């Protein structure tokens, strides 16, 4: 008899337990499900409120595009604080472009014209096409293809964490969006916009970045036979003058008279000549796929040796330098204030930031 009573009590308790699990489990399971579906408990789905129409016709929120901008250049960004600084730079450049301004790559020129975005009076374009942005970007699909699934997931999480930690933050100078120019590796210091563009921007000045000399990309050397040099120059010659002249004669001219005739104070080449032929530093860089316009030329065992220093235009933040500072426990805010003196990080409340 006692065994029957105990058995009944047990059955009743079991039913009660199942009932409670059903009632209270229903409260928790949806929440857990939402977290699992999101794939990341630490990331809130935040939106900027600017829609970007991609080249393939798909549409995405501006913040997701900013993440793709940051993903396009991570070779030198390993530290968390450096990635945060990089994310703020990318977001600033995106917002400037979305406001109808020129991209950061030629923004120093617009500064001289007074064409800079005022944070307090900025008319943000809510819908914009990628082709009109002129900003570097890589899709998450490309990121995965380039790195493999495992590494991709790790990189994606780092990017999302940096986006979440800096969400809404942009770089400003005197209440205007800053021209957040950047480059990969400096020549050991950054140079001013005045030196490169002949336009003085208060926060695009020369600062020490001597840690960059330790980068594998600090110096690059190319050695080419003169006939190959001539071949590349002829292919790039839109006038066709080189093709009309005898090849052996052109090679003699290159060997005897090729020289750099104009350069900036810190060695950024402005003009190269060979008798009556002229090239700008940018043209020469493009023709020979050099890392920067800071290079010199010399004869070397009957060939042309081109030695390039740094990677990029050398203005604004050095990505390698930013990471080196972050390795010393320097914060993103301090990194940005160092490379862009006088600027401030602000949370823009003009955009339709959404959680």
Alpha carbons 210 and 25: distance in angstroms, whole number: 59
Q: For 122-160, b where at least 16 C-beta lie within 10 A, e where not — what string?
A: bebeeebebeebebebbbeeebbeebeeeebeebbebbb
Residue 152 structure tokens:
């991709």
How would you write the pLDDT of the chain (355 residues) with one tens digit per residue?
444 444 444 444 444 444 444 444 433 323 322 222 233 333 446 788 899 999 999 999 999 999 999 999 999 999 999 999 999 999 999 999 988 765 444 444 444 333 344 444 445 568 899 999 999 999 999 999 999 999 999 999 999 999 999 999 999 999 889 999 999 999 999 999 999 999 999 999 999 999 999 999 999 999 999 999 999 999 999 888 898 889 999 999 999 999 999 999 999 999 999 999 999 999 999 999 999 999 999 999 999 999 999 999 999 999 999 999 999 999 999 999 999 999 999 987 655 445 4
Its pTM stands at: 0.82
Residue identified by tokens 């065992």 is 301
* Main-chain dihedrals φ then ψ at residue 118, nearest 5 degrees: -85, 125
Alpha carbons 89 and 127: distance in angstroms, whole number: 21
pLDDT at 283: 98
Neighbouring-strand partners of residue 296:
307
Closest CA to 268 of 254, 255, 256, 285: 285
């Amino acid at each position: 008899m006692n065994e029957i009573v105990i058995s009944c009590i047990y059955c009743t308790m079991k039913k009660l337990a199942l009932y409670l699990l059903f009632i209270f489990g229903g409260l928790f399971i949806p929440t857990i499900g939402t977290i699992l579906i999101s794939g990341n408990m630490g990331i809130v789905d935040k939106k900027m409120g600017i829609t970007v129409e991609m080249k393939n016709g798909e549409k995405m929120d501006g913040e997701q595009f900013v993440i793709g901008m940051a993903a396009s250049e991570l070779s030198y960004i390993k530290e968390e604080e450096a990635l945060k600084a990089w994310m703020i730079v990318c977001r600033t450049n995106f917002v400037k472009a979305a406001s109808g301004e020129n991209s950061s790559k030629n923004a120093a020129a617009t500064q001289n014209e007074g064409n800079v975005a005022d944070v307090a009076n900025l008319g943000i374009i809510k819908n914009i096409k990628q082709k009109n942005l002129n900003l570097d970007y890589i899709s998450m699909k490309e990121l995965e293809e380039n790195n493999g699934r495992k590494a991709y997931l790790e990189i994606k999480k780092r990017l999302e964490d940096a986006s979440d930690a800096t969400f809404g933050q942009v770089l400003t100078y005197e209440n205007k969006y800053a021209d957040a120019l950047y480059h990969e590796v400096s020549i050991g210091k950054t140079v001013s916009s005045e030196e490169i563009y002949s336009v003085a921007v208060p926060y695009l000045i020369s600062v020490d970045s001597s840690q960059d000399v330790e980068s594998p990309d600090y110096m690059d050397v190319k050695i080419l036979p003169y006939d190959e040099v001539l071949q590349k120059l002829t292919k790039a010659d839109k006038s066709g003058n080189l093709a009309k002249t005898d090849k052996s004669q052109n090679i003699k001219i290159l060997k005897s008279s090729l020289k750099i005739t104009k350069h900036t104070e810190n060695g950024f080449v402005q003009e190269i000549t060979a008798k009556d032929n002229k090239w700008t530093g940018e043209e020469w860089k493009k023709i020979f796929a050099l890392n920067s316009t800071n290079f010199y030329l010399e004869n070397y065992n009957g060939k042309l040796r081109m030695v390039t220093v740094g990677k990029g235009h050398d203005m604004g933040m050095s990505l390698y330098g930013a990471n080196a500072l972050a390795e010393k426990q320097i914060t993103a805010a301090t990194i940005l204030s160092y490379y862009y003196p006088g600027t401030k990080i602000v949370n823009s409340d003009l955009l339709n930031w959404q959680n």
